[in-house]
Amino acid sequence: MQPKILFEDNHLLVVVKPHGIAVQKNDSASTDDFQSILKDYLKKKYNKPGNVFLGIVHRLDQPVGGVMVFAKTSKAASRLSEQIRQNIWKKCYLAVVDGVPEQKRSVMEDYLVKNEATNEVFVSKKSNPKAKFARLSYETLKSKNGRTLLKITLETGRSHQIRVQLSSRGLPIVNDRKYNKNAKTCSDIALWAYSLEIEHPVTKEKLDFSEDMPEKMSLIQG
């Protein structure tokens, strides 16, 4: 697989992750993971012997595609991770959901708990000691045939956050096989990491990257 590169220098690699590929290798994966594919790309491009460093500083769920940033040095990885902790990054997603929200713009706040055994996330009460606060805002871009295209600004980065918060309000993402009972098994989830704004770990320059959602993920796709 030839990765689509949006930006590359000595410190960063910004790429478009395809749907359906894990960011990092795990015991259950039978296919290549994205990190390994990118390491192979760097190794061949620069004719590097041995192992290539490529730090993962954030993740996208395996079914989800879109813009991702990787660190090419340990110093860059550390600084980017600190930016995330300080909430410097700005992340926007596009999602097609089944249903039409009552409000064109709104904020969703919940407390989420993850079941590690089943890899599922649930909305919980604030009093649950395992619950983590989750917040996002959205705006409606257009609706058609009972489906809606949303632009989502993610304010916290919880596991499966967008998928769970929307589904819990009767707005499951199209083709989300985990949280949408009407999802089709042969189609990609209609959730896309559309844009990402970061601070360069060395120059401190503001960098903004974006990639449009694939055309096949239209409102009538299903």
Please give the C-alpha separations between residue 217 and each of 6, 94, 112, in angstroms, as whole numbers: 21, 10, 28
Res. 23: pLDDT tops 80: yes
Q: Is residue 219 part of a domain?
A: no
Please give the C-alpha separations between residue 10 and each of 70, 76, 202, in angstroms, as whole numbers: 11, 10, 10
Q: At 5, phi and psi to the nearest 5?
A: -100, 125
Q: Round to whole Å and give the CA distance between 178 and 211.
A: 25
- Positive or negative torsion for Cα 158, 161, 164, 165: positive
- Positive or negative torsion for Cα 109, 107, 195, 87: negative
Q: Round to whole Å and give the CA distance between 218 and 74.
A: 39
DSSP state of 3: -
- pLDDT grade, residue 27 (50/70/90)? low
Res. 222: pLDDT tops 70: no
Contact at 8 Å (CB) between 148 and 101? Answer: yes
Lowest mean pLDDT among 14-28, 43-57, 84-98, 105-119: 14-28
Q: Is residue 218 part of a domain?
A: no
Q: Is residue 194 part of a domain?
A: yes
State the chain's mean pLDDT as an integer. Answer: 93
Q: Which of 36, 69, 40, 72 is nearest to 53 (CA)?
A: 72
Q: Is residue 220 part of a domain?
A: no
For the chain, the residue count is 222
Q: Return the active site residues.
A: 61
State how many domains the chain has.
1
Lowest mean pLDDT among 15-29, 105-119, 130-144, 163-177: 15-29
Q: Is residue 216 part of a domain?
A: no
Q: Is residue 215 part of a domain?
A: no
Model confidence pTM above 0.75: yes
Q: Is residue 101 part of a domain?
A: yes
> Is residue 116 exposed (0-12), middle (13-18) or buried (19+ Cβ within 10 Å)?
exposed
Q: Is residue 113 part of a domain?
A: yes
Element (H or E) spanning 123, and its range? strand 120-124
At residue 215, the pLDDT reads 80
Domain that holds residue 108: 4-210
Q: Is 178 helix (H, G, I), strand (E, B) or coil?
A: coil
* Tens digit of each residue's pLDDT (9 = 90 or more) over 123-136: 999 999 999 999 99
Give me the CATH number covering residue 181: 3.30.2350.10
